[in-house]
Structure 1
Amino acid sequence: MTSQAHTSPADASGSLLGSTNLLIAAVAWGGMYGVSQTALQYLDAYTLTTVRYGFGALFFCLLLWLKQGRSGFGFDGQFVKVWLYGSCGFCGFSVLLFHGLEYAPAEHGAVIASLMPLISALITWVIHGKRPDPATLACALVAIAGVMLVISRGDIDNLLQLSAIKGDLMIILGVTCWVIFSMGITQVPGWNASRYTAMSCCAGLITIVAVNLIAGWRGAAYLPALSDIRMVSFEISYLILAAGVLAVSCWASGVARVGAINALLFMNMIPVSAFIIAFLQGKVIDPMELYGMLLVVSALLANNLLPRIRPVRQQQPACSE
C-alpha cells in the first residue's frame, strides 16, 4: 500500500505567492540594466552609486526598524567585517557595473548577472576547497561558453580586443563583488538578511562617498545639475525603489516561501526579461547574443534541476523479476 503526499491549499497559496515575489524581483532586476544606461547619460557612475545607495540605505534601515525595531541596529563588534562586505557589494558592484554599462549593452549585463549561482560555486571551490560536482562544473563551462558567445557575438576577434570587451569584463568583476557580498551573510552569525543588508549598506556608504570624493578630485565625477537629476528622476526612482527595495524585499520573501534552490530558477528570468525589454525598445539584437543567452539559461536550469533528479533516481527501488 503506497501513500501519496498531498499539497494543502495553504502550501499551494504560499508557493504561488513566493513564486510571484521571485518573478517580480527577477523582472525588476532585468530592467535595471537598460534603466541604468539611460541614467548614465546624465550622471557619472560614482554619483549615481552615491544617490542610489544613499537613499537605498534609508529605505533598508526603515524596513529593518519595522521588522526588528531598535534592537536590529548596531554592529556587535563586527563593523570591519560588515564594512568590507558592504564596500565590496554596494560600492564595488555598483561602480563596476555602471562603468561597464558605459561600454557594454544592457543585455550583456543581465546575462552575466545570471551567472551568480555558478560564480558562487567556483568561489567556494577556490576559497574553501569544496569542489563542485562534475555536473555543476559542466554547467559552468556551458554557461561560460554562452557568455563568451554573447560578448563576442560569434566573432572570436572581439574577444581578443580589450576595447571591445572591457565593459563586459567590468560587469563580470562587479557581479563577482556582489556574489562575495551575498556570501558574507554566513560570516556574521545571528544576523538575518534584513539586518545584514541595512547595516552593510550603511557601512559601505562610507566607502561610496569616499570613492565619489576621490573621483571628483580626479575629475572622474561631478556634481550634477538639478536639471540633470530631473531628467532621470524616473530612472533614479526605479534603481532605488524597484531594483533596490522592492526587488530585494520580494526576493527575500520568495526565498523564505519556496526555498533557496527553487528561487535560483528565477535567476533565469533576469536575462530573458532584459532581452525582451531591449526588443520592445527597438534595439537590434544579434542572433549570436540570443544563442548565447539560451546557452546560459539552459546551463542554469540544468544546474538547478539535476540535483533534484539524482536523489529521486537513487530512491527508486530496484526492479525484481
Structure 2
Amino acid sequence: MNSIDTSNSNSLIGSSNLLIAAIAWGGMYGVSQTALQYLDPYSMTSIRYGCGALIFCLMLWLKEGRTAFRYDGQFLRLWLYGSCGFCGFSILLFHGLRHAPAEHGAVIASLMPLISALISWITQGKRPNGATLLCTLVAIAGVILVISRGDIANLLQLQAIKGDLMIIIGVTCWVIFSMGISQLPDWSSSRYTALSCSAGLITILCANTVASLIGVSVLPTLERITPVLFEIGYLILAAGVLAVSCWSNGVARMGALNSLLFMNMIPVAAFVIAALQGKAIEPMEIYGMALVITALVANNVLPRIQRADRVAPASSR
C-alpha cells in the first residue's frame, strides 16, 4: 500500500512540476514581445542568461558543492551545446518574435519532441516509425494552418515567415542542447545546465559585442530596462530558473515519455494568455493548434499501444 501511495505522490509532484514549467514557458512568448519594445534580442539574451548563469551556478554549488564545477575535459563540448541552446535559441527566438505573433512561437516550440525524432534520424540513422512520421506531417500541417490562419496569401508575407523560420531554427537549437545531456550520462542535469550556460555565455557576450559594433544592438541603459523590469524578471526567474528546474524535476519523476505530453500545454497557455490580454484569435489558429496537440498526443500514446500489443501475446504464453 505504501508503495502505491509513494508512486501516486511521486506522479502528482512530477505532474505539478511539469505543468508549472509548461505554463511558465507558454507565458514567455508574450512577455518577450513586450520587452522587445525596449531592448534588442542581443541585450535581452545577455541580461537573461548573464543572471541565469549566476543563479544556475549558485544552485549547483548548494546542491553538489565546488567539485561539480570541474569541466573534466568537456569544456569544448559544453561550450558548443551551451552556445547552441542559450545563445542560438534565445537570440533567434527574440528576433523571430519581432515579426511573428507570440502564439505562433509557442505552437512551434511544442514541436520539440518531433524535431528531436527527426534530428536523431539525420544524425544517428534512427529512422522514426511510420506513426511518428505521420504525426510529424500532421503537426507540420497544424503549424502551417496557425501561421497562415487558413489563408495561403499570409504565407507569402516575407516578414512574418522570416519570423516563424527564425523561431523554428531557434527551437531546433534548443532541441540539440537538450539532447546533449545524453552525451554526459554521469552528469546531473543541474551540472550540465549550469556549466553549459556559463560556457555559452561567452558566445552570448561576443555576439552582443559584435552586434553593438555594427550597430544592430544598443547597450541597455537604466531608462530602457526600468519599464520592463517585470518582463526581464519573468524571463530570468519564471521562464528560466523556475521552468528549467521544475522540468528537470518532473522528468526525473515521470520519465521522458510521459513528460513530453506536457509540451502540449505551452501553446495552450500562450493562447489563453493572449485571449486574456484581449488579442483576437482566429478559428484557423485554434484548429491548427488542435492539430499540433493531437499529433503530439498520438506520437506519445501510439508507442505505448504498440508495446502493449507486443507484451500481451508474450504474457499469454
TM-score for both structures, normalised by structure 1:
0.95
Q: Secondary structure at the match of 2:58?
A: helix
State which of 306, 310, 313 in structure 2 corresponds to 1:310: 306
Q: 2:96 aligned with 1:106, yes or no? A: no
Q: 2:255 aligned with 1:259, yes or no? A: yes
* Amino acid of the structure 1 residue aligned with 2:44: L
Q: Which residue of 1 aligns with 2:188?
A: 192
Q: Secondary structure at the match of 2:65?
A: helix
Q: How does 1:24-43 map to 2 (within 5 A)?
A: 24-43=20-39
Q: Which segment drifts farther, 308-317 or 289-298?
A: 308-317
Q: Which runs of 4+ in 1 moved over 6 A?
A: none
Q: Contact 1:78/1:188 (CA < 8 Å) preserved in 2?
A: no
Q: Measure, in 2, the Cα distance between the counterparts of 1:6 and 1:169.
A: 50
State which of 93, 96, 100 in structure 1 corresponds to 2:92: 96
Q: Measure, in 2, the Cα distance between the counterparts of 1:189 and 1:80.
A: 17
State which of 124, 135, 141 in structure 2 corresponds to 1:139: 135
Q: Which segment drifts farther, 305-314 or 64-73?
A: 305-314
Please give the per-residue CA displacement for 1:87-116, whole angstroms capped at 9, x wherever unaligned.
000000000000000000000000000000
Q: Measure, in 1, the Cα distance between the counterparts of 2:3 and 2:268.
A: 30
Q: Which residue of 1 aligns with 2:270?
A: 274
Please give the per-residue CA displacement for 1:101-138, whole angstroms capped at 9, x wherever unaligned.
00000000000000000000000101111100100000
Q: Measure, in 1, the Cα distance between the counterparts of 2:312 and 2:185.
A: 38
State which of 13, 18, 22 in structure 1 corresponds to 2:14: 18
State which of 207, 217, 221 in structure 2 corresponds to 1:221: 217
Q: 2:293 aligned with 1:297, yes or no? A: yes
**Larger helix percent:** 2
Unaligned stretches of 5+ in structure 2?
Answer: none
* Amino acid of the structure 2 residue aligned with 1:239: L
Q: Which residue of 2 aligns with 1:80?
A: 76
Residues 134, 7 of structure 1: alpha-carbon distance in 2 compared, 3 angstrom cutoff: farther
Q: Which residue of 2 aligns with 1:70?
A: 66
Q: CA RMSD in A?
A: 1.5
Q: Secondary structure at the match of 1:315?
A: helix
Please give the per-residue CA displacement for 1:124-173, whole angstroms capped at 9, x wherever unaligned.
10111110010000000000000011111111122234233110000000
* Amino acid of the structure 2 residue aligned with 1:12: N
Q: Measure, in 2, the Cα distance between the counterparts of 1:46 and 1:75.
A: 27
Q: Which residue of 1 aligns with 2:174?
A: 178
Deviation at 1:57, TM superposition (A): 0.1
Q: Contact 1:114/1:270 (CA < 8 Å) preserved in 2?
A: yes
* Amino acid of the structure 2 residue aligned with 1:109: G
* Amino acid of the structure 2 residue aligned with 1:208: I
Deviation at 1:257, TM superposition (A): 0.9
* Amino acid of the structure 1 residue aligned with 2:225: I
TM-score for both structures, normalised by structure 2:
0.96
Deviation at 1:71, TM superposition (A): 1.1
Q: Which residue of 1 aligns with 2:197?
A: 201
Q: Which residue of 1 aligns with 2:117?
A: 121
Q: Which residue of 1 aligns with 2:228?
A: 232
* Amino acid of the structure 2 residue aligned with 1:216: S
Q: Which residue of 2 aligns with 1:210?
A: 206
Deviation at 1:175, TM superposition (A): 0.1
Deviation at 1:313, TM superposition (A): 2.4
Q: Measure, in 2, the Cα distance between the counterparts of 1:10 and 1:160.
A: 54
When the two structures are aligned, how many residues end up with a matched partner?
Answer: 315
Q: Which residue of 1 aligns with 2:282?
A: 286
Q: Which segment drifts farther, 269-278 or 155-164?
A: 155-164
Q: Which segment drifts farther, 80-89 or 309-318?
A: 309-318
Deviation at 1:7, TM superposition (A): 6.3
Please give the per-residue CA displacement for 1:211-258, whole angstroms capped at 9, x wherever unaligned.
000000111110222122111000000000000110111111111111
Q: Measure, in 2, the Cα distance between the counterparts of 1:61 and 1:51.
A: 16
Q: Secondary structure at the match of 1:278?
A: helix
Q: 2:156 aligned with 1:163, yes or no? A: no
* Amino acid of the structure 1 residue aligned with 2:69: F
